[in-house]
Amino acid sequence: MKILNVNQIRELDQYTIQHEPIAPINLMERASEAFADWFVAKFPATRPVKIFCGLGNNGGDGMAVARMLLQLDYNVEVNVVRYAPRESDDCAHNHRRLKLLTNPNYIEKPQDMPALRHNEIVIDAILGSGLSRPTEGIVKTVIEAINRSPAMVISIDIASGLYADRPNQPGDVIVEPDYTLTFQLPKLAFLLPKNSRYVGNWQVLDIRLSRRYIDQTRTLYYYTNPEEARLLLRTRDRFSHKGTFGHALLLAGSYGKIGAALLASRACLRSGVGLLTVQTPRCGYDILQTNVPEAMCRPDQHEHVLTGMSDISGPDFSEYSAVGVGPGIGQSPETVSMLRGLLQSLRKPAVFDADALNILAKNRDLLGLLPERSILTPHPKEFERLTQRWENDYDKLEILQDFARRYDVVVVLKGAHTAIATPEGEVHFNSTGNPGLSTGGTGDVLTGVITALLAQGYDPVEASVLGVYSHGLAGDIAAANRGQIGLTATDVIEHLRWNM
Ligand SMILES: NC(=O)C1=CN([C@@H]2O[C@H](COP(=O)(O)OP(=O)(O)OC[C@H]3O[C@@H](n4cnc5c(N)ncnc54)[C@H](O)[C@@H]3O)[C@@H](O)[C@H]2O)[C@@H](O)CC1
Ligand SMILES: Nc1ncnc2c1ncn2[C@@H]1O[C@H](COP(=O)(O)OP(=O)(O)O)[C@@H](O)[C@H]1O
Ligand SMILES: [K+]
């Protein structure tokens, strides 16, 4: 799913109006109906509703929604925040229609603000994607009162005061909704961690804006939806054999962290790899052979850390279709040498995670040795070590895109809505996953999943997008079974589903 910026969204509205064609007021009616349908399906008419409308088209949506809910016998009070002398044409039209049904309350000064109570629902239609400056004066006062109130808050299209595609400043006053119902496509702002309280649970309502405009419009930002993930997944040929699905090598574990190697190995096997070899320090050999009988094990010559050297065969990585390195490996000098040797001999993309990334951050000359289109899977702290501190989430995105372009790699920046940057500078935000995944070992699982997909011949971007999606989906299924709080990395492995 594409993510468009505010100018593109405006063009999309205009294009739809001209080419469908549809009158602007009817498009507003369609958007408001979509919102009202969602609302009516979720909340009974016994819950009192207070709608706060601005004077632009977002306010117009709010007034149309008010009319629709009144006609369905909801108890609705409309508050128009009069911060300017003029309304937009479509807002004025809906204002006139609304006044045939009810007398709105007009808020011009703080005393005009009504009290908000616990069981009430506030609908925020003060400002939408047309926000062009920080909120101030009476708008700011109303937003502060809404945020102080115990009422449930639902924003139409976007929280009033939040920019859809650029950073807000500290101190900006923004509605803090429980829900945001947005139109047609997600907004970039929804996917950035620092905006979490200004978004709440969000959902996209389809209002049939022009498919053609969306298809032909260029963007760097995407949101992976279920259909797109499903399309990436390859079906298996009836005459396939284990050789068809690649041979992965995982370099993982050190004394005290053999668990990381186990988790990555099990996840790799549960993600369709044909064959798996795991190289761990000698201390991990029995553990691995006992607990993951499907995997072959290459014991490292070293008892406690990875050196890359094994009695079974030398450090020849060319026989593997994909290599994944990092989970639990530590940063001993021997392991740093191993990584250097690996980078010097690797000829195809590999997956780098955890301490492999920390070693890269401390030995920056190694970054130049990364095979092109390799996959790096940092969490934000690891990414900061590889790059620099960022001022805000938009700044971080730019650093992410620059890094992926500069080193010709795919960077999987993990977290809620994991952001996958491609060497071409595109960013794919993930749609699955939940806070239950914030627990040790889930990153090791992800490394196993992505390594398996790479070994099966998926292109590195596809392996990352599909791997991150499936990993998050497994977390969601596991959380549905047992709740987020008790979720472990092993649960994620056990809930991987490839019949999406
Ligand atoms: N145009 C269309 O066809 C559709 C528009 N829709 C709605 O229209 C909204 C966008 O409408 P608009 O472009 O009118 O945008 P807004 O409703 O956000 O209003 C913009 C107006 O508010 C002013 N403004 C900006 N920042 C302000 C601030 N901080 N304090 C006070 N005033 C401020 C602007 O100068 C402009 O006059 C969307 O968010 C969506 O809710 C939907 O009805 C779907 C269809
Ligand atoms: N709040 C969250 N919502 C969605 N996914 C999350 C959340 N917190 C963590 N995750 C996911 O969990 C994984 C954590 O990885 P990582 O930090 O490397 O853990 P570890 O090093 O313990 O294995 C990542 O895939 C990340 O995207
Ligand atoms: K709004």
What does pLDDT average to over the chain?
A: 97
pLDDT of residue 309: 87
274 assigned binding-site residue = no
Cα–Cα distance, 375 to 392 (Å, whole number): 24
Known binding residue 130? Answer is yes
pLDDT of residue 500: 86
Give per-residue pLDDT as tens, 202-244: 999 999 999 999 999 999 999 999 999 999 999 999 999 988 9
The pick from 438, 450, 466 for probing ligand 2's pocket by mutation, whose C-beta has the most ligand atoms within 8 angstroms, reads: 438
Write down the ipTM of this complex.
Answer: 0.94
By CB atoms closer than 10 A (0-12, 13-18, 19+), residue 38 is: middle
Which ligand sits nearest to residue 183's alpha carbon? 1
Beta carbon of 203 within 6 Å of any ligand 2 atom: no
Q: Residue 133, annotated ligand binder? A: yes
Question: How far is the centre of ligand 1, averaged over its atoms, from the C-alpha of 138 (Å)?
Answer: 17
392-418, pLDDT tens digit by residue?
A: 999 999 999 999 999 999 999 999 999
Q: What angle do CA 415, 421, 425 make, to 5 degrees?
A: 150
Domains in the chain, CATH or no CATH each: 6-216 (3.40.50.10260), 228-494 (3.40.1190.20)
Q: Is the CB of 445 under 6 A from ligand 2?
A: no
> Residue of the nearest CA to atom 19 in ligand 2?
443
Q: Which atom of ligand 2 is nearest to the CA of 378?
A: 18
pLDDT at 421: 99
Atom number, ligand 1, closest to the C-alpha of residue 137 = 30
**pLDDT tens string 116-150:** 999 999 999 999 999 999 999 999 999 999 999 99
Nearest-CA neighbor of 244 among 231, 255, 254, 234? 234
Question: Which residues fall inside 5 Å of ion ligand 3, going by CB?
Answer: 58, 124, 155-156, 160
Residues of the chain with pLDDT under 50: none
CB of 120 closer than 8 Å to CB of 50: yes
Q: What is the pTM of this model?
A: 0.97
